[in-house]
Chains A and B, each alone.
Chain A
Amino acid sequence: MIALFVGLAVFIGGLILVAFLPSLVARLVKGWAWLYTARLPSDIRARRRAEMRSDLWEHARAERELGYRPESIALHQFLRCLFGIPADLSWRRSQVRQSRHVRPRSLRRGLPLEPALAEKLVSELQQLDPLMQKVVALKFDIELSNAEIARLLDLSAAKVGVELDSALKQLRNSLAHDLRPWLTAARLAEPGAGRQKSDAGQ
């Protein structure tokens, strides 16, 4: 009797899941788009969300017309979303960097890069191993994700991570001396730095 009840519940639950799966997945994908575009400038945010809405709709319509079952359509949409997550995150990072609407997280805090330091940075970049140079350029100039760089250079993602870490470590070490006074100036320029000083004096 219990087995019959459980079986019936699973069957009904399955039917409900299949019936609502496409809309659930569509909501999930839209929710993800909403999440990774949050706090970006409104025009960029609206464009990406609208493109996602359109793509989901076109995808569902096209596959319905081709005779796909709703759960297959949902699975295809889910996989498209899942495999695109690294690119979504990397895209968001690049948008955040370019955006003035989101608080900058870099150490620069909006200070201009001094020409002498920029020259030193370029000179140090040229000292890097050619593979490191490629990885750094692809990561920070073209703003690719590690997975994309790995595919492009025919490396493993782990190797890309290692090359990137080594390059950044090498750059930090070689620039540490030159960066120190500049970073100190940047810290003093942070909003609240003066207030902290006066608070400490009280």
Chain B
Amino acid sequence: MLPIEASILEAAVALAQTGTAEFHGYLMASEIRERQGARLLTAYGTLYKALERLERQGLVQSRWEDPAAAAEERRPLRRLYHVTAEAVHALAAIPSRGKQPALKPIRRPAEA
């Protein structure tokens, strides 16, 4: 598994533990930045390519949100992702990611 894929899964599992079961692309990018203490958000191409790979591997699933919700907030439709049970097993199987910075606790109000 690539580092970006592991980062996505770790962040997604952490989000799920705090009550945010589904995430969209920008939320994931900002979550990864916060957890890694990075200055920049994950690039669009890198993020969506990795999400697509994870989806192909069955580690995340996605759906378009209800158009009514987007229309109500007058914003574009979100693609919502969630991790599958296989993702948790896949994460557990990853050997220690020695060089990665320690994970930081999540500080985020629940958001879809």
Contacts and interface: CB of A to CB of B under 8 A. Distances in A.
A84 B76 contact: no
Contacts of A47: 79
Given A50-B76, A76-B41, A91-B52, A84 B27 contact: no
A13 B19 CA distance: 47
Contact of A84 (B2, B24, B46, B75): B46
B57 to A, nearest CB: 10
Contact of B26 (A55, A87, A89): A55
B49 A59 contact: no
Contacts of B47: 84
A63 to B, nearest CB: 10
A71 interface: no
A148 B47 CA distance: 12
Given A62-B30, A81-B43, A87-B46, A148 B2 contact: yes
A178 interface: no
A152 interface: yes
Contacts of B3: 151-152
Contacts of B64: 50
A81 B40 CA distance: 12
A170 interface: no
Interface residues of B, number: 26
Interface in B46-104: 46-49, 52-53, 64, 75-79
* Residue of B43, B53, B64 contacting most chain A CB atoms (<10 Å): B43
B25 A87 contact: no
Contact of B48 (A51, A62, A79): A51
A20 interface: no
A33 B25 CA distance: 15
12 contacts: A51-B25, A53-B76, A54-B76, A54-B77, A54-B79, A55-B29, A59-B29, A76-B40, A80-B44, A82-B43, A83-B43, A88-B44
Given A54-B26, A55-B24, A58-B25, 8 more contacts: A54-B76, A58-B26, A58-B75, A59-B26, A84-B43, A84-B45, A84-B46, A87-B43
Interface of B: 2-3, 24-27, 29-30, 40-49, 52-53, 64, 75-79
